[in-house]
């Protein structure tokens, strides 16, 4: 992978991760990855390949054993713990498989939560929440509680929360993992349009080839090592087929992937 | 694996889950057992203590036992609450409700058995300490030695095995089969945000306000009559306060975006409003139990001061002797020689008190020089009474003493036919022993008073050196001189304290047990939500939450839990003690403040400890 210097939003350089314990376990080995500003990259691989470990390291939740992670040219792992929390809140956006919405808050309150922690003015928060709700088509559920909405709506709300502070990098961990195929398509379409319109850099970790086909580029890892990467051409359909093919080469023994799913 | 083994393994392999319930059960057993060690102590059960003390101990033991029952029942049900999901899983696996009941019963008996044994063992460890404390508080002459408390062991063991048996039976019987889906979803299912009924909210304010007003306004016997209705009204009010008013207040706060959307407030208050329904019952119980503890200890403490201060108040002298019979020279010689033998020095004054029938009763009339000698003895100012004048002297006017108005227009006619007029200004002094007031006239007028109705010899000593030997000397004197004539304040106070100490000790013990268990209720409440909180903070921390912000949220959350019921209980307790003070017409402010601040202090320590561990637990998952 070639570093594109100024253009790179994320640079992962020679990152390895070893979990110490009774039995030391090597989760990642010499991973290099560069994501340009405005790029939408998918990470795929079988269970236990190290996808989530990689994501956690980029998300600054976990630290690499060797190597470094640069976000927008800075190494967040050098920050003190509290500054790190603020860095996450201001520079990164997160979307999770289990939505991670607080059920005691309404959708609107969930969305503005990162801003309230920063002490943003109420007027500005209301305005921003309104804008993003309109953009993501969730205006009519803003006053509802999270237990009153569907999974698809919940994930949209989670995306809205991740986007409200206009993060430099949006990280999505299996965002379609808990959704049916219709909702999955909605959410992925939404992420794609955010990426295209707002030029938000995105990284997606997924099992789902359908979801991965919305990316510009998909990187495959296996046993903690880089395996291959493929770029999307003009057609998403072709790209989807290419992903399926790579996956079948990637591992004969895993049943994680559906053979065909259109 | 047999069914019994399954139940057994359930407990032994889920230590953390069962730990809180086990520890609180063990604590309860320990409290009861320590009390039993004390109550059955040979030094106390002998003839040293009166039978009423023994009976008091038995009643107190009974109270602790009944309280233990409810406490364990409560811990048990909150423990089962957190296991809903597990039961759902077992039912899906094909377990019948009957089997689940059996499982709960077996588990419970197992925990109960070990809690009983553990509590007794732990109690034995602390026994020496508690006996030492008791020794100091109780003013007991002979020491409370450590002994092997067989009776206490047997009593505690049997009582608690029975208790756990009954509770296990009861709990497993009432274990209702909820809908399976409900069980499986467990705590994930939201009950929705609680709402407050506006009428009940208003009613809460009215009930508490009304109860307080009545409690503050009634005086004397009225307190006694109003007590029960006020307690009932305020109890209902308190319940509504926590279930309705608190929900109402939180909802109002949440409506104000500038407050609710500020920093960590959203995380804190959103949860608070959802948990309020669960919190309310705990808050109510804690507030009531704490109020009972405050009031009981405050009353006991206040009553003790009331008794001892009363004696100190009417006896400004170290020793006094009053008699009208012939033995008095002998008695006084003995008192004087005892003072000398004990190497004490004392100032002494003596006089003859003359009683005259005035205002329908016998009143002392003293001459100026006699009065001044006695006033000087207790450090009061000397007075000058002009001829033809009477100075009216009130014995005291502190709330404790009865006062009676004197008719200042009354005149005294002397044998010479002249009349004496009362001076309008009444002064106050305890120089001479009287119930309400006495008169002082000039030495010259005194000679012309005529024959008194009654005469008594009065002598007073003010010890100036060797004050620490006063009680010993007084004990010696009372062996020979009848206490009917001889009074020693210090000895009287000492004896009251001695007689009162067991009651005080038992009261303190029960009060502290109540208070500590109130703290445990809060601890349970907090830990029921631990898993939910872990999940919540885990989610928020991924988004980015500094440890300072986390600490702030948790500190406030725990503080609200710990101090809301305490503040309510403090206000209740203060009002109750105030009403009590009104009943006795004696100011209990100092005692109330001491008792309430000690409890607040304990609660603050409790809060700091629990917050520390809770924060630590939450931080583990981040």
ipTM of the complex: 0.79
Check residue A171 and give its pLDDT.
Answer: 92
Check residue B100 and give its pLDDT.
Answer: 82
Contacts of A165 in chain B (CB under 8 A): none
The shortest C-alpha distance from B189 to chain A (Å) reads 8
CB contact under 8 A, B266 and A109: yes
Check residue A42 and give its pLDDT.
Answer: 94
Residue with tokens 């403490």: B301
Of the two residues B461 and B18, the one the predictor is more confident about is B461
| Residue of chain B whose Cα is closest to the Cα of A82 | B546
Query: For the residues of B527-573, what is the DSSP string, one character each?
Result: HHTHHHHHHHHHHHHHHH--HHHHHHHHHHHHHHHHHHHHHHHHHHH
CB contact under 8 A, A94 and B548: no
| CB contact burial A220-238 (16+ within 10 A = b; e otherwise) | bbbebebbebbebeeeeee
Calculate what percentage of chain B has a pLDDT beyond 70.
Answer: 91
CB contact under 8 A, B261 and A116: yes
> What is the rounded CA–CA span in Å between residue B12 and residue B531?
20
> What is the rounded CA–CA span in Å between residue A205 and residue B201?
51
Segment 27-66 of chain A within 8 Å of chain B by CB: 59, 61
Average pLDDT over residues B319-346: 83
- The one-character DSSP state at B413 is E
Check residue A221 and give its pLDDT.
Answer: 92
CB contact under 8 A, A96 and B257: no
Identify which of A224, A226, A227 has the alpha carbon closest to the alpha carbon of residue A18. A224
Tokens at B389, concatenated: 């004048």
Check residue B405 and give its pLDDT.
Answer: 63
> Is residue A105 within 8 angstroms of chain B, CB to CB?
yes
Contacts of A147 in chain B (CB under 8 A): 189-190, 192
At B182, the pLDDT band (50, 70, 90 cuts) reads low
Residue B203 has pLDDT above 90, yes or no: yes
Average pLDDT over residues A191-217: 91
Tokens at B31, concatenated: 């409290």
Identify which of A167, A196, A199, A169 has the alpha carbon closest to the alpha carbon of residue A11. A169
**Nearest-10 Cα torsion for A169, A173, A178, A181:** 70
Distance of CA B419 to the CA centre of its chain: 56
Identify which of B191, B617, B198, B277 has the alpha carbon closest to the alpha carbon of residue A104. B191
At A40, the pLDDT band (50, 70, 90 cuts) reads very high
Contacts of A90 in chain B (CB under 8 A): 544
Residue A2 has pLDDT above 70, yes or no: no
Average pLDDT over residues A226-242: 90
Check residue A218 and give its pLDDT.
Answer: 94
Residue B403 has pLDDT above 80, yes or no: no
Q: Using CB atoms, pick whichever of B258, B262, B266 lies closest to residue A105.
A: B266
Q: Using CB atoms, pick whichever of B193, B273, B545 lies closest to residue A85.
A: B545
Identify which of A85, A102, A120 has the alpha carbon closest to the alpha carbon of residue B544. A85
Identify which of A85, A248, A209, A226 has the alpha carbon closest to the alpha carbon of residue B550. A85
Residue B188 has pLDDT above 70, yes or no: no
CB contact under 8 A, A59 and B543: no
The shortest C-alpha distance from A230 to chain B (Å) reads 30
Contacts of B540 in chain A (CB under 8 A): 102, 113
Q: Using CB atoms, pick whichever of A81, A88, A104 lies closest to residue B543.
A: A88
Among A243-257, B212-226, B233-247, the range of highest mean pLDDT = B233-247
Sign of CA dihedral A246, A252, A256, A260: positive
Mean pLDDT (chain B, rounded): 82
Residue with tokens 């989610």: B539
E strand spans, A134-224:
169-173, 201-205, 217-222
The shortest C-alpha distance from A85 to chain B (Å) reads 4
Q: What is the pLDDT of residues A142-170, one digit of tens each?
A: 998 888 898 889 999 999 999 998 888 99
Residue B15, C-beta contacts closer than 8 angstroms, at least 6 positions apart: none
CB contact under 8 A, A102 and B539: yes
> What is the rounded CA–CA span in Å between residue B285 and residue B295?
15
Check residue A160 and give its pLDDT.
Answer: 92
> What is the rounded CA–CA span in Å between residue B281 and residue B269?
18
**Nearest-10 Cα torsion for B331, B334, B339, B340:** 150
């Amino acid at each position: 992978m070639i570093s594109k210097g100024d253009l790179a939003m994320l640079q992962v350089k020679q990152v390895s991760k070893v979990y110490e314990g009774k039995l030391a376990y090597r989760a990642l080995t010499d991973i290099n990855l560069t994501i340009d500003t405005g790029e939408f990259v998918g990470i795929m691989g079988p269970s236990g390949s190290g996808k989530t470990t990689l994501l956690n390291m980029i998300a600054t939740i976990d630290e690499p054993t060797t190597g470094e992670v640069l976000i927008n040219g800075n190494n967040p792992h050098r920050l003190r713990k509290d500054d790190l929390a603020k860095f996450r809140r201001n520079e990164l956006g997160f979307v999770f498989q289990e939505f991670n919405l607080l059920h005691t808050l309404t959708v609107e309150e969930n969305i503005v939560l990162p801003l309230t922690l920063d002490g943003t003015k109420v007027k500005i928060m209301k305005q921003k929440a309104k804008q993003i709700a309109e953009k993501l088509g969730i205006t009519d559920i803003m006053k509802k509680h999270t237990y009153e909405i569907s999974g698809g709506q919940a994930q949209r709300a989670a995306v809205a929360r991740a986007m409200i502070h206009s993060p430099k990098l949006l990280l999505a961990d299996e965002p379609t993992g808990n959704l049916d195929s219709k909702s999955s398509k909605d959410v992925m379409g939404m992420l794609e349009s955010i990426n295209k319109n707002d030029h938000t850099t995105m990284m997606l970790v997924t099992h789902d080839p359908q979801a991965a086909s919305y990316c510009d580029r998909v990187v495959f890892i296996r046993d903690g090592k880089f395996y291959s990467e493929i770029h999307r051409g003009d057609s998403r359909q072709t790209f989807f087929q290419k992903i399926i093919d790579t996956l079948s080469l990637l591992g004969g023994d895993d049943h994680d992937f559906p053979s065909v799913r259109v | 694996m047999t069914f019994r083994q399954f139940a057994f393994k359930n407990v032994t392999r889920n230590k953390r889950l069962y730990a809180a319930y086990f520890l609180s059960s063990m604590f309860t057993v320990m409290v009861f057992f320590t009390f039993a060690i004390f109550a059955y102590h040979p030094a106390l059960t002998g003839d040293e203590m009166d039978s009423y003390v023994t009976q008091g101990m038995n009643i107190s033991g009974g109270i602790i036992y009944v309280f233990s029952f409810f406490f364990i029942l409560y811990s048990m049900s909150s423990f089962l609450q957190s296991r809903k999901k597990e039961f759902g899983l077992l039912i899906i696996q094909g377990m019948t409700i009957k089997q689940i009941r059996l499982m709960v019963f077996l588990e419970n008996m197992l925990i109960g058995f070990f809690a009983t044994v553990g509590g007794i063992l732990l109690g034995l460890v602390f026994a020496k300490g508690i006996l030492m404390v008791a020794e100091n508080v109780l003013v007991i002459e002979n020491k409370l030695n450590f002994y092997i408390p067989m009776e206490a062991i047997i009593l505690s063991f049997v009582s608690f095995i029975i208790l756990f048996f009954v509770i296990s039976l009861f709990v497993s019987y009432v274990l209702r089969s909820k809908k399976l889906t409900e069980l499986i979803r467990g705590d994930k299912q939201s009950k929705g945000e609680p709402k407050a009924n506006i009428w009940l909210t208003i009613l809460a304010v009215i009930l508490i306000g009304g109860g307080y007003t009545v409690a503050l306004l009634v005086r004397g016997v009225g307190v006694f009559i109003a007590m029960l209705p006020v307690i009932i009204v305020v109890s209902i009010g308190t319940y509504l306060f926590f279930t309705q008013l608190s929900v109402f207040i939180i909802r109002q706060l949440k409506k104000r975006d500038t407050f609710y959307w500020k920093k960590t407030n959203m995380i804190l208050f959103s949860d608070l409003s959802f948990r309020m329904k669960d919190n309310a019952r705990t808050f109510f119980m804690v507030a009531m139990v704490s109020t009972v503890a405050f009031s009981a200890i405050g009353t006991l403490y206040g009553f003790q001061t009331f008794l001892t201060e009363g004696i100190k108040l009417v006896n400004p002298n170290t020793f006094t002797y009053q008699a009208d019979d012939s033995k008095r020279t002998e008695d006084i010689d003995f008192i004087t020689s005892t003072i000398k033998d004990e190497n004490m020095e004392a100032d002494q004054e003596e006089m003859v008190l003359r009683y005259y029938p005035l205002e329908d009763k016998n009143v002392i009339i003293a001459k100026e020089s006699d009065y001044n000698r006695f006033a000087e003895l207790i450090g009061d100012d000397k007075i000058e009474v002009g001829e033809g004048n009477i100075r009216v002297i009130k014995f005291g006017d502190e709330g404790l003493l009865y006062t009676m108005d004197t008719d200042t227009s009354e005149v005294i006619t002397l044998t010479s036919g002249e009349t004496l007029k009362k001076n309008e200004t009444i002064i106050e002094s305890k120089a001479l022993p009287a119930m309400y007031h006495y008169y002082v006239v000039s030495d010259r007028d005194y000679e012309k008073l005529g024959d008194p109705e009654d005469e008594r010899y009065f002598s007073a000593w003010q010890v100036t050196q060797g004050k620490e030997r006063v009680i010993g000397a007084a004990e010696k004197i009372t062996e020979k001189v009848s206490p009917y004539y001889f009074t020693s304040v210090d000895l009287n106070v000492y004896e009251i304290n001695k007689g009162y100490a067991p009651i005080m000790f038992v009261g303190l013990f029960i009060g502290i047990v109540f208070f500590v268990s109130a703290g445990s209720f809060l601890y349970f409440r907090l830990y029921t939500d631990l898993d939910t909180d872990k999940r919540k903070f885990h989610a928020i921390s991924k988004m980015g939450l500094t440890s300072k912000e986390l600490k702030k949220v948790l500190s406030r959350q725990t503080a609200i839990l710990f101090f809301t019921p305490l503040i309510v209980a403090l206000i209740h307790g203060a009002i109750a003690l105030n009403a009590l003070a009104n009943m006795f017409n004696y100011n209990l402010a100092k005692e109330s403040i001491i008792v309430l601040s000690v409890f607040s202090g304990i609660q603050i320590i409790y809060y700091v400890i629990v917050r520390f561990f809770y924060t630590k637990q939450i931080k583990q998952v981040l």
